[in-house]
């Protein structure tokens, strides 16, 4: 679908499903943009000090400048913020960052020109993405340093990613026939002074998080079958009397996927097995029985995070702001990324609980003392010199610790910076990057777990499982054969991990 950029609300799903971007060509939209710019230029012409336009930045706001120096000021803003470090963000992340910034300054309150918006659109149309280092932002006054790489690219400076190669911006613009942009008063500040980096990262990571959450439910449904568990714990009655939306949703999802197998028990058959089988507990372990209660929390927090990200996407997050109705320029703190910081921090905690759950589930699945006949380490070979999934369980457990160590909330680590002017900051980008790292590690955990589940299905017999479990099994077995003799599995993990990030095992 084509996404039209104007001052209208853009739903989260519309943003992530857009295949092309255009700028509203209506006179009403362009007049709204021009009115804000005219107000800014009028105030400047009357000699009024405008923060970041005819004054310095931050603590240097006490330094006043004449109009003739305003352009130099804008160029120096992106220049002195060219100190980002860390890995370059992915093209998909940078795409979302640019799009979120474009939406924000297109609301008609930032004092920018239509020409600046068109310049951003041109970059997106040509697939030109500024090479943005991932680190260097404290999340207020916005993502200044990483966003400076967009500002620099617009004027032909620094480097961009074009056709998956990092090249000098000037070369790429010449090749694409794009003229470098020249900033008007406040425009570099409007590009840089906002929450678009943390928000853009979260737009992508929320999509990954949701896919992995759904695929963890897929694993859980297969686990109920492989462990011959009691599906009574998934029945609607149990969850309707504790009516959290996420819990009800998760139980419904898992129960639907288990239908059509000959392995799981209901309440009556479990009572019978309790009397017929020696040492058979009448209830399953918490890591099996309580899955909806664990994952329901993640579903509900994801819904909150998605709503906050959607609101941030549609927010004006720079400073100062133009109120054309009152003919007043306001200064404020909309560049503070607190909501994004807390969204990331909360999902990091959810992810840590998901990792802990999966660690416990897989430990039960591979341990012959608890896995109800699946044998030692899910071995298909009877030879004692083969070891099955012994090392895979160690790797999975190690990764769970890595995920859980990231759960520490970034938002509480506010740093005092910039001569104590920025003395309370959000750390939102740090939180978003922490969630990104946790999702990367958790997806590797899920890949190991899914490979182990395919092995368990081989041991029990594919025909005994539900159609859903068989479909999961078939997809995995197309890229990874059963483990009979000991062999390396790192490449298999990577292949399944790619499937998970695409959402193929939902």
Which residues have a catalytic role annotated?
51
Q: Give the integer Cα–Cα distance in Å for 464 and 224.
A: 13
Q: Match 């220049």 to its residue by tokens.
A: 79
**389 three-class SS:** coil
SS3 content of the chain, % helix, strand, coil (to 5): 60, 10, 35
**488 three-class SS:** coil
173: tokens are: 């613009």
List, as one string, the DSSP characters of 331-385: ---TT--HHHHHHHHHHHHHHHHHHHHHHHHHHHHH-TTTSTT--GGG-S---TT
Q: Give the integer Cα–Cα distance in Å for 375 and 368.
A: 5
For residue 135, the cross-strand partners are: 85
List, as one string, the DSSP characters of 199-249: HHHHHHHHHHHHHHHHHHHHHHHHHHHHTT-BGGGGSHHHHHTS--HHHHH
Q: Give the integer Cα–Cα distance in Å for 43 and 103.
A: 25
Tell me whether the omega of the peptide bond preceding residue 141 falls within 30 degrees of 0, making it cis. Answer: yes
Helix intervals (H) in 374-423: 390-405
Nearest to 12 by CA among 142, 90, 100: 100
Helix intervals (H) in 259-337: 267-276, 286-289, 291-313
414: tokens are: 């506010």
Nearest to 51 by CA among 450, 275, 335: 335
For residues 24 and 6, the answer to whether their CB atoms sit within 8 Å is yes
CA 302 → CA 102, 206, 213, 254, 310, distances in Å? 25, 8, 10, 18, 12
The strand ranges marked E within 146-216 are 159-162, 165-168
143-178: b (≥16 Cβ within 10 Å) or e? bbbbbbbbbbbbbbbbbbbbeeeeeebbebbeeeeb
CA 360 → CA 54, 281, 367, 370, 379, distances in Å? 60, 18, 11, 12, 19
Q: Give the integer Cα–Cα distance in Å for 132 and 138.
A: 15
**447 three-class SS:** helix
Q: Give the integer Cα–Cα distance in Å for 118 and 116.
A: 5
């Amino acid at each position: 679908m084509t996404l039209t950029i104007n001052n209208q609300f853009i739903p989260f799903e519309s943003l992530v499903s857009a295949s092309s971007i255009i700028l509203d060509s209506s006179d009403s939209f362009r007049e709204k943009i021009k009115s804000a710019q005219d107000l800014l230029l009028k105030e400047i012409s009357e000699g009024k000090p405008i923060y970041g336009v005819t004054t310095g930045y931050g603590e240097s706001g006490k330094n006043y400048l004449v109009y003739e120096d305003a352009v130099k000021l804008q160029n120096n803003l992106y220049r002195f913020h060219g100190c980002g470090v860390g890995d370059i963000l992915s093209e998909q992340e940078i795409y979302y960052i640019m799009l979120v910034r474009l939406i924000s300054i297109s609301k008609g309150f930032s004092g920018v020109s239509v020409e600046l918006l068109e310049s951003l659109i041109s970059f997106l149309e040509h697939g030109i993405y500024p090479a943005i280092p991932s680190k260097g932002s404290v999340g207020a006054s916005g993502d200044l340093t990483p966003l400076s790489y967009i500002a620099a690219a617009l004027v032909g400076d620094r480097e961009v990613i074009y056709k998956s190669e990092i090249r000098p911006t000037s070369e790429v613009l010449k090749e694409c026939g794009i003229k470098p942009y020249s900033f008007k008063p406040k425009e570099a500040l409007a590009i840089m002074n906002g929450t678009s980096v943390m928000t853009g990262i979260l737009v992508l990571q929320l999509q990954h998080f949701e896919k992995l959450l759904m695929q963890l439910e897929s694993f859980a449904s297969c686990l109920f079958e492989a462990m011959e568990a009691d599906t009574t714990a998934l029945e609607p009655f149990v969850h309707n009397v504790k009516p959290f939306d996420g819990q009800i949703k998760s139980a419904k999802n898992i129960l639907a996927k288990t239908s059509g197998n000959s392995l799981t028990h209901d309440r009556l058959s479990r009572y019978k097995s309790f009397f017929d089988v020696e040492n058979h507990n009448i209830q399953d372990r918490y890591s099996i029985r309580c899955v909806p209660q664990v994952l329901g929390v993640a579903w509900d927090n994801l819904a909150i995070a998605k709503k906050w990200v959607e609101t941030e996407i549609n927010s004006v997050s720079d400073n100062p702001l133009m109120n054309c109705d009152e003919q007043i320029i306001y200064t404020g703190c909309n560049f503070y990324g607190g909501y994004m910081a807390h969204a990331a921090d909360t999902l990091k905690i959810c992810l840590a609980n998901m990792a802990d759950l999966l660690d416990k589930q897989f430990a039960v699945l591979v341990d012959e003392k608890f896995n109800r006949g699946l044998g030692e380490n899910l071995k298909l070979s009877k030879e004692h010199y083969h070891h099955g999934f012994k090392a895979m369980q160690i790797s999975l457990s190690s990764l769970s610790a890595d995920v859980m160590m990231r759960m520490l909330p970034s938002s509480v680590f506010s740093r005092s910076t910039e001569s104590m002017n920025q003395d309370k900051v959000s750390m939102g980008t740090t939180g978003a990057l922490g969630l990104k790292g946790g999702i990367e590690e958790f997806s590797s955990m899920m890949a190991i777990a899914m490979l182990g589940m395919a092995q368990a299905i081989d041991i029990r017999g594919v025909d005994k499982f539900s159609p859903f479990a068989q479909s999961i099994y078939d997809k995995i077995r197309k890229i990874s054969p059963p483990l009979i003799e000991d062999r390396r599995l790192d490449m298999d993990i990577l292949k399944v991990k790619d499937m998970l990030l695409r959402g193929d095992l939902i």
